[in-house]
Amino acid sequence: MHLSVSELERAQSRPLTRRQKRLKQDVPESSDDLEVFAQDEGTSSSSESQVELNLFVRWYSPTGKTKVNMLQLQPVQGVDALQGVSKNLVVRAFPEAERPDYLTSDDFYKFTPTEEFMTLPGDIARTEFRLVASYGGWEYTVLERELGAHRDPERKMLVTVIEFESTALMIGHVGVRVSLIAYPVVSVKKSFLDEITAELKSNPNFKGIM
C-alpha cells in the first residue's frame, strides 16, 4: 500500500456572524465522550441535549467543479482506540515514537469519521474543511479552513489526510487500482471546543461563524 500523508497543522479563526441552519431531521444519537462530550457507555439521552460534530469536506477540481462530502465524527481516546482501516493507515504513517503532538496530547480532542475512506474522483486542486456542531436541532459552522492554508499558531483544528491505493481488482487479466483518501483523525483544540460547547449550551444568541 502506498501512502501519501498530509498533516494540517493550523486552523483559521474568523469572527462570529449570523449563519445557522435548521436541521431537516432529528440529529441521531451518538456516544459522545472526552469530558465535554462525556456519556457513559450503555446510557442514552436525547440528541437535543448533545453536541455532535460533522466535518464537511469540499473538493475543487482543476476545472472548477466541486463535490461536498459530509463526515460524521465520533470521539476516540487516541490512535490506539482507532479501528479497522483508520488505525492501519495511521499506524503505518506515524510510528509510535514519531507521532505528532496533536495525535497524542491531551490538549486536543480526537475524532474519527464513521466513513473510513472515500474514492478520489480525480485530480483535486483545492480542499476546504468546515467543522459543524449540531445542538438542540440546529447546526452551527464553528470553524472553516483550507488544506494548505497559512499556519495559525492557535491550531484549532488539525486534520490528518492520507491518500492511498486499493489492492488491485482483477478485471479479466488486468489489475485495476483505485485512488482512495482518508481523514482518519480530526484533532480539535480542547480549549477551543470547550468554549464552543459552553456557548452552545448557555448562549441562546450563539450564531456560529462567518
pLDDT at residue 68 in the model: 96
Task: For the chain, give the number of residues.
Answer: 210
User: How many of the other CB atoms lie within 10 Å of CB of 70?
Assistant: 12
pTM exceeding the 0.85 threshold for the entire prediction: no
Separation CA 48–CA 37 (nearest Å): 13
Give the residue-averaged pLDDT of 73-91.
Answer: 95
pLDDT exceeds cutoff 60 at 83: yes
User: How many of the other CB atoms lie within 10 Å of CB of 171?
Assistant: 8
SS3 198: helix
Question: pLDDT tens, 89-103?
Answer: 999 999 999 999 999
Question: pLDDT tens, 145-171?
Answer: 998 656 667 899 999 999 988 765 556
Q: Where are the domains of the chain?
A: 3-202
Separation CA 68–CA 130 (nearest Å): 10
User: Nearest 5°: phi and psi at 137?
Assistant: 85, 5
- 180 — pLDDT class (breaks 50, 70, 90): very high
> What is the sign, positive or negative, of the torsion defined by CA atoms of 73, 75, 80, 83?
negative
